[in-house]
Amino acid sequence: MSVNAIVNKLVREYVEWDRYNEKIHIMEISPTLLTELMERCSLDDARELGKRMSQDLVRPSIEQMFVDFTFDNTVEFLRREVRPVH
């Protein structure tokens, strides 16, 4: 991989997501850790956590990135944020 390709990838990642992380206080966790944490939750606890996270984190994140909370902005947010697990 060329230096130019690496720099382009890093700048794109920063512009699309990383610059917002500090403002909305989020961080990545490994899929293994997330699986372990979710396995320790009851179904009702997991549902409640999902509702709270969407209200307290996802919507503000979308509004921070795009100003308006719309369906199209939500889809774009998910396209940028949800990364396939390898």
Band of residue 31 on the pLDDT scale cut at 50, 70, 90: confident
What is the average pLDDT value for the chain, to the nearest integer?
Answer: 80
Query: Hey, where are the domains in the chain?
Result: 3-81
Q: What is the Cα–Cα distance from 80 to 76, expressed in whole angstroms?
A: 6
Pure H helices in 1-86: 3-13, 19-24, 31-39, 43-53, 59-66, 71-81
pTM reported for the whole predicted model: 0.47
Band of residue 58 on the pLDDT scale cut at 50, 70, 90: confident
Check: CB of residue 66 under 8 Å from CB of residue 73: yes
